[in-house]
Chains A and B, each alone.
Chain A
C-alpha cells in the first residue's frame, strides 16, 4: 500500500523529518507514537500534500505511484485521506453539500458516475447510522460550532463516505472524552478492511486499546526509532517518552529482536 523511503522534510526551513522509513501492507493498521515535536503530524501533512511542508529528500510510493508528484486533491482521489488533528470550520458551506461535492469529484476522477442528491442522501443515512451521528450534523455548516468530539466524528464520517484506501488519523483522540473516544474508535474499527490501510498517529496509548494496531512505530526526532507489536505501545506508556530520549530504546530494540 505505502512505502516511505528515507523521507526528509522541512517546515519553514526547519528540518523535521530526517530520514523516515515506513512500509505498510494492504489492510494493516500502523500506529505512530512519539513525543511532541517528533514529526508525527508533519508525516501526515506531507502524505496529504499540505503547502509549507517541503520534502527535501526521499520518496513516498503509494500503490506504485509517486505520491509526492500529485496535488492534494489528486492524492484524495487516489484514495488518501487525512483526518485532521484540527478539523477546519467552514462557515456557509453546508456539510452535506460539501461532502457530496467531494465524493463526486473523487468519483469523476475515477471515471464513475456522479451521485445525485437522492442517491447521496441514501448513502449518508447508512453511514450516519453506523457511526451514531445525528442527522442534524449534516444540515449544519462544515464543523462550524461543532464540539471537539463532533468535529472528530465528522472526520470519521467523511472517511466512511469517501472510503479511502489509506487513511491517516492525526491525533484523532486528542480532546475527546472516554465516550467520544469509544465512538470514534468504533467507527474506525468498522472501516477496517483487507484493502484499507490506516495510520493512527497518537500521543497516548489509550486509543490503541480500542483500535488495536498490527504494528506500532516510535517516531523520535524525525525518524522511526523502534517498531513492534501492540505491546510496544504499552511499554511506552509505562516508561514514558523521557525514558525513550534517555536511550531506553536501545534496550527495547534488543528486547524485540530477542
Chain B
C-alpha cells in the first residue's frame, strides 16, 4: 500500500479531490464519492502485479501527468469536432474536453437525455442502485473508483417502454490547446422493456491533443430491450482513453457492441455484461489497427447467469510499428445457466517484429449442455497467399494491404448497418500501417 501512496499521480488526484466542492447531489452521492476516493487512494495505480493490467502499463498516463480537475486560470476553447462517422436519427451530442454541452439536443417522445444531476433527480431510485452497485475495490478497479470519486459530468439516456428511439451519435473530442486533464465521465443508459436504441460513440479530435478520458458506462436493459453500441476511436498519439462498460441484461434482451480502435496512445476498454434473464444475448465485436507505439487493450467479460443465453466475442487485431495489443476474453457460465452458447475468437496479425500481442481466453463453465468454442491466434500474413496475389499482378504492398484489410473486414462484415460497415472498412484500410 505504501507504494501507491507515494505515487505522485495518486497523490495529485487525491489532492484534486479534496480541492473541489463535492457537495452537489443527494447525501448518498456525496458518501459514494468519499468512499470511492478513499478506495482509490488505498489501491493506487495498477502495476504489472495487477493481473488484469499485467500487459497494460499506465506509464503513459504518468508521463502525461494530467489533473483530475479542470485546471484553473485558462479559458478553454471548445474542441473542434471532425466529420460525424455516420448519420444519427435521434440526434448528436458533442462532448468537448469531457464536458457536456450546455444544451442537449431535443429528442422525440420516448427518448430522454439528461445531464447526470438532473438524471439523478428524475430516476433517483434506479440511479442510486446502479451507481452503488459498481465494484470499486482493488487496483484493477482503480479508475472506476477515481471516476466515482469525481462523479459530476455525466449523461443519462432513458428510452421508454417499447420505444424504438433510433440512433444517437455521441462525439468526444479534446481541444489541442488544453492543458493535460483526466476527464471523468459517467454515462447511464436505461432501456425500459421492449425499448430499442443504437448509440455510436466517436472518439476523435480534430487535431493533435494530449489528454485523458475515463468513461464509465452503465447500461440497464429491461426485458426485451435491444441496444446497439458502436465505438469508433481515431484519437491522436497523445490521448489516453479508459472506458469501463457494464451491462445488466434482463430476459430476451440483446446487446451488441462493435468497437473499432484505430488510434490513441493508451486505450483500454473494459466490457462486462451479465446475462441475468433467460434468453439474453450479447455480442462483442472489435477490430483494432495499430501502428507506432499505440496500445489497445480489450478486456471482455461475460457472465451467463440464466439459462439459454448466448454470447459471442469476436476480435481482430492488426499490429504494426512497435504497437501493443491486449485481448482478454472471459466467459463465466454460472451453475444453472444451462443451454448456454459461448463463442469466442481472437485473431491477430503482427506486421512488425517489434509489435506485441497478448491474448488470453478464459472460459469457466459450471452449467450443463453448454455449447462453447474459443480460439486465439497471433500470426503473420500467409506468404503463400501473398505470392498468389502477386502472381496475378498485384504488387507486394498491394497484396499485403489486401490481405490485411480482408482480415479486419471479418469484423465489419458482422455489422447490420451496411453503410456504416462500408465507412468503417474504409477507415480500417486507411489506418493500415505502411510498409514496416
Contact = CB atoms under 8 A, between A and B. Distances in A.
Contacts of B396: 71, 73
Interface string A79-94: 0011010011011110
B403 A105 contact: no
A162 B390 contact: no
Nearest to A79: B393
B60 interface: no
A77 interface: yes
Given A71-B396, A73-B395, A101-B394, A92 B387 contact: no
B409 interface: yes
A106 B413 CA distance: 29
Given A88-B384, A88-B388, A93 B403 contact: yes
Interface stretch (A44-52, A194-202, A204-212, A236-244): A44-52
Contacts of B406: 90-93, 141
A215 interface: no
Contacts of B390: 49, 71-73, 76
With a 10 A CB-CB cut-off, give which of B384, B387, B396, B405 has the most chain A CB atoms.
B387
Contacts of A71: 390, 395-396
A158 interface: yes
A87 B387 CA distance: 11
With a 10 A CB-CB cut-off, give which of B392, B394, B406 has the most chain A CB atoms.
B392
Given A90-B403, A91-B410, A101-B402, A50 B387 contact: yes
A171 B388 CA distance: 16
A62 to B, nearest CB: 15
A13 B71 CA distance: 67
Contacts of A73: 390-391, 393-396
With a 10 A CB-CB cut-off, give which of B384, B389, B390, B393 has the most chain A CB atoms.
B393
Nearest to B399: A73
Interface residues of A, number: 30
Interface in A107-131: 109
Contacts of A102: 389, 392-394
B398 interface: yes
Interface in B341-385: 382-385
B interface, size bucket? 20 to 34
A216 interface: no
With a 10 A CB-CB cut-off, give which of B384, B388, B406 has the most chain A CB atoms.
B388
Given A71-B396, A88-B384, A91-B406, A98 B389 contact: yes
A106 B402 CA distance: 16
A101 B413 CA distance: 20
A51 B410 contact: no
B181 to A, nearest CB: 40
A166 interface: no
B403 A77 contact: no
B392 A51 contact: no
A48 B398 CA distance: 18
Interface of B is mostly: helix
Nearest to A75: B391
Contact of A76 (B393, B403, B409): B393
A87 B391 CA distance: 11
Contacts of B391: 48-50, 72-73, 75-76, 81-82, 84
A91 B345 CA distance: 16
Nearest to A141: B406
A99 B406 CA distance: 15
A77 B395 CA distance: 10
Contacts of B410: 91-92
Contacts of B409: 92
B53 interface: no
Nearest to B387: A50
Contacts of B76: none
Contact of A162 (B383, B384, B393): B393
A109 B151 CA distance: 61
A186 B384 CA distance: 28
Nearest to A101: B394
B407 interface: yes
Given A72-B387, A88-B388, A91-B410, A98 B402 contact: yes
B411 to A, nearest CB: 10
Given A76-B393, A93-B406, A105 B387 contact: no
Given A51-B383, A92-B410, A105 B388 contact: no
A181 interface: no
Interface string A202-228: 000000000000000000000000000
A51 B394 contact: no
Contacts of A99: 392
Contact of B392 (A91, A92, A109, A158): A158
A43 interface: no
Contacts of A82: 391
Nearest to A78: B393
Nearest to B409: A92
A105 B402 contact: no
Contacts of A106: 393
A99 B382 CA distance: 19
A103 B394 CA distance: 9
A184 B212 CA distance: 61
Contacts of B395: 71, 73, 105
Contacts of A51: 383, 387
Given A91-B406, A91-B410, A101-B402, A77 B393 contact: yes
A106 B398 CA distance: 13
In the A-B complex, the 5 residue pairs with the closest CB atoms = A92-B406, A102-B392, A76-B393, A88-B388, A106-B393
Given A82-B391, A88-B388, A90-B385, 10 more contacts: A49-B391, A50-B387, A51-B387, A71-B395, A73-B393, A81-B391, A84-B388, A91-B410, A105-B394, A106-B393
20 contacts: A71-B390, A71-B395, A71-B396, A72-B387, A73-B391, A76-B390, A76-B392, A76-B393, A84-B391, A87-B388, A88-B385, A92-B410, A92-B413, A93-B402, A98-B392, A102-B389, A102-B393, A102-B394, A105-B395, A105-B398
